Structure 1
Amino acid sequence: MVVYNELVAVTAGAGLLGFAWFLAQLTGGKRVESEGWAAFFGVTGVLLLALGLHTTVTWPFGGEGFEYANVAFGQPAAGFGALLVFAAVYLWRHRTLFAGEVDEANATALRALKPVGIFVGALGLGMAVLAITFVRFQLGAAPPEEPISGRFGHLPILEALFLGGLWGIVALGALLFAIALLTDRHQLLRWAVWAWVVGGAVFLLFGAMNFYTHIGMYYNIEHGTMYKW
C-alpha cells in the first residue's frame, strides 16, 4: 500500500498556520507581502491539490476496512489545496494593489474572499461531519505494528476522539470564517484564526510524527520486529 498522508498532514498543517497568519495580517491592518504569500500558497496548494485529487480518485488506502481514509484525508486535502491555489493566483495578480495603501488593499482582499467563504463553509460542514464519523464508528486506530500509536490500538476510541477533535477544530474555523464574511461580522475572524492555529499546529506535529511511526510500522512488518517506541 503506497500512501503519503504524512506529507499531506504536514502540508495541511503548514497551510492552515500560514493562512491563519495571513488572515491575522489582513484583519490587523498589517502590510501583506503578496509575492511571498503567493509563493507559499502556491507550493502548499499544488501539493495538497495534487495529492488530494490522487487519493480521491485512486483510493491508495485500501484493505482491512481502511478505505475510509481515502474520503477523510483525500477529499478535504483536494478542496483546501484548490483554495490555496486560488489565494496564490489572487495575491500574485494583485501585487501592485498590495504594494499601495495598506487599508485599501486589505479591505479589497477581504471583499474578494467573501464569495470564497461559501466553499470554505461547505468544506467546514464536511469536516464537521467527518469529525462525528470518526467518533461514531471509532475510526483511526493504529495497528499493533505501528510504534507509539500502536500502543493504544486496543483503545480505538482514543484515536477516534483525537482525529475527530482535530477535524472538528479545523471545521469550526472554516464555519466561523464563512459566517464572518457572509454576514460582515469580521470580529469572528479572530476566532477562526485561533482555531486554525491550533488545528494547523496539531496537523503539522502529527504529520511529522507519522514519518517516524509509519516507517517504524513498515520496518516491523518487514522484519518481524515489534518496536513500540
Structure 2
Amino acid sequence: MSAVVVYNELVAITAGAGLLGFAAFLTDLVRNKRIASEAWAAFFGITGGLLLVTGLHTTLTWPFGDGGFEYANIAFGQPAAGFGALLLLAAVYLWRHRALFDGEVGTANATALAALKPAGIFVGALGLGMAVLAIAFVRFQLGAAPAVEPISGRFGDWPILEALFLGGLWGIVALGALLFAIALWTDRPQLLRWAVWAWVIGGVVFLLFGAMNFYTHIGMYYNISHDTMHKW
C-alpha cells in the first residue's frame, strides 16, 4: 500500500467546528441574544474558506485515487465544499450587515432568520445528499480502515462497524439540515431546536473523529514507511 496525500483530518475538525459554531449562532438568533456579527463573520469565513478549498480540491482531483477508497472523494469532498460555501455566505452576510446587528436585537435577529430562508433550500439539498450517502455507507459497508492504520485498523475485519458509525454520523448531520430547511419553509421555528441538537451531536463527533485521525493517519504512514504494524 502506498501513501497518498489527503487532509480529511482538517476537513473533519473544521466541519465539526463549523457545525458547532452555526448551532450556537442559530441558538442565539432564536433566543434573541445580541449577535457579535464581526466575530461570527470571521469564524464562518475561516471555517468556510478551509472547507470550500479542501472540499473543491478533493472533489476535482480525487486524491483518494485507488485501493477501493475512491468513494471518499464523493462522501468527504462534495459535502465539505457545499458546507464551506454556505458558511462563507453567512460570513459575507454578517460582515455586510454589521450596522443592523448593532441596532435593536429583535429586529436584527428576525431579519437574519428571514434572510436564511433562501439558503435553506441548499441546506436541505445538502441534507438530502448526506442522507443518501449515509445509506450508501451502510448498504455497501464503506469506510473500513486498512489493517496498517492504528486503532481503526483493528476493526477492519468487521466493515459494518465503521459503516454504521459513518452512516450514523452523516445521517445525524443530514437530519439537522433537513429539519432546518423544513422549519424555515413551513414556518415551524420549533423544529430549529432539533436541528441545533442534531448539529451539536454531529459537530462533537466530527471533532473527535478528526482529532483521532491525526493520530491514526500519522501512525498509518509510519507503519507504511517503516514496515511496522503498530495497532495502537
TM range (shorter): over 0.9
Whether 2:205 is the aligned partner of 1:199: answer: no
Give TM-score scaled by structure 1 length. Answer: 1.00
- Pick aligned residue for 1:176 from 163, 175, 179: 179
**Identity rate of aligned residues, in percent?**
83
- One-letter code aligned to 1:157: I
- Pick aligned residue for 1:3 from 6, 22, 25: 6
- Pick aligned residue for 2:26 from 23, 28, 37: 23
Match of 1:156 in 2: 159
Q: How many residues align?
A: 229
Whether 2:112 is the aligned partner of 1:109: answer: yes
Q: CA deviation at 1:64?
A: 1.4
Residue 17 of structure 1 aligns to a residue whose secondary structure is helix
Mapped to 1, the partners of 2:179 and 2:76 lie a distance apart of 22
Whether 2:121 is the aligned partner of 1:118: answer: yes
Q: CA RMSD in A?
A: 0.4
- Return 5+ residue gaps in structure 2 as ranges: none
Match of 1:188 in 2: 191
Match of 2:84 in 1: 81
Residue 146 of structure 1 aligns to a residue whose secondary structure is coil
Mapped to 2, the partners of 1:31 and 1:192 lie a distance apart of 21
Query: 1:207-226 maps to which residues of 2 (within 5 A)?
Result: 207-226=210-229
- Return 5+ residue gaps in structure 1 as ranges: none
Q: Deviations over 1:10-50 (max 9, x none)?
A: 00000000000000000011111000000000000000000
Runs of 4 or more off by more than 2 Å in structure 1?
none
- One-letter code aligned to 2:104: E
Residue 186 of structure 1 aligns to a residue whose secondary structure is coil
- One-letter code aligned to 1:167: W
Mapped to 1, the partners of 2:64 and 2:153 lie a distance apart of 18
Mapped to 2, the partners of 1:31 and 1:199 lie a distance apart of 25
Mapped to 2, the partners of 1:53 and 1:224 lie a distance apart of 33
Mapped to 1, the partners of 2:76 and 2:57 lie a distance apart of 11
Match of 1:36 in 2: 39
Give TM-score scaled by structure 2 length. Answer: 0.98
